[in-house]
Amino acid sequence: MTSLRLQAYRQLLLLDTLEDHSIQDYQSRWHEAQHTVKTLFQRLDTQGGTLPLEEKAEILLTIFVLLQIGYRNEALFARAVEATYELLPQLTEATKSPETPILNSQSDNCCPLSVVRCQLPLLVHLYQETQDEELLPSIDRLMSTWQDNTMTEEDHYLMELFQLTETA
């Protein structure tokens, strides 16, 4: 799913400038993204009770990124927002486990790695959709744990999207 999200981020941030951005191409990508989102929601509906929390989070993250492509589908965004609000407390509780690895254990901003990798992207997309300012302290705290030399391509895209949301 990561490669699918990276492709969607590149389209969203207009980084694939060599590609044709005609109306037909735009609509084709939108239809493809909508179909994939509906398939992912179907997977959550049918297998949600048996999927690990991190996998549910990855599916929701992929849904949020794909929904950014093309025309807005408010019903699908609302469904993603609701599912994410339901999942976040479960992720937080799961990361309190003593066997969860710690990131930046030398700093005051230490966070379980699974919180940073699962929760932060969802929080950013949730904030982008809801402008829920209660999410900002958690986003800031988790982003402060990132070190530039360990950030992935997706982390950089996520940070760029968050900065765009803050300035809007």
Backbone dihedral region for residue 131 (phi beyond 0: left; psi -120 to 50: alpha; all else: beta): left
Where do the structural domains in the chain lie, given as residue ranges? Answer: 2-167
Please report the DSSP string for the chain in residue order: -HHHHHHHHHHHTT--TTS---HHHHHHHHHHHHHHHHHHHHHHHHHTTTS-HHHHHHHHHHHHHHHTSSS--HHHHHHHHHHHHHHHHHHHHHTTSTTS-EESTTSTT-EEHHIIIIIHHHHHHHHHHH--GGGHHHHHHHHTT--GGG--HHHHHHHHHHHHHHH-
* Better-predicted residue by pLDDT, 160 or 59: 59
Cβ pair 82, 48 in contact under 8 A: no
Rg (CA), the chain: 16
What tokens appear for 121 in the block? 């992207």
Quick one: pLDDT band at residue 14, thresholds 50, 70, 90? low
What digits encode the pLDDT tens for the residues 102-155? 333 333 334 344 545 778 889 999 999 999 999 999 888 888 888 888 888 888
**For the segment 20-44, what is each residue's pLDDT rounded down to a tens digit?**
566 667 788 889 999 999 999 999 9
Condensed to tens digits (0 to 9), the pLDDT of residues 53-101 reads: 888 999 999 999 999 888 889 999 999 999 999 998 888 776 665 444 4
Domain 2-167 grouped into CATH 1.25.40.810: yes
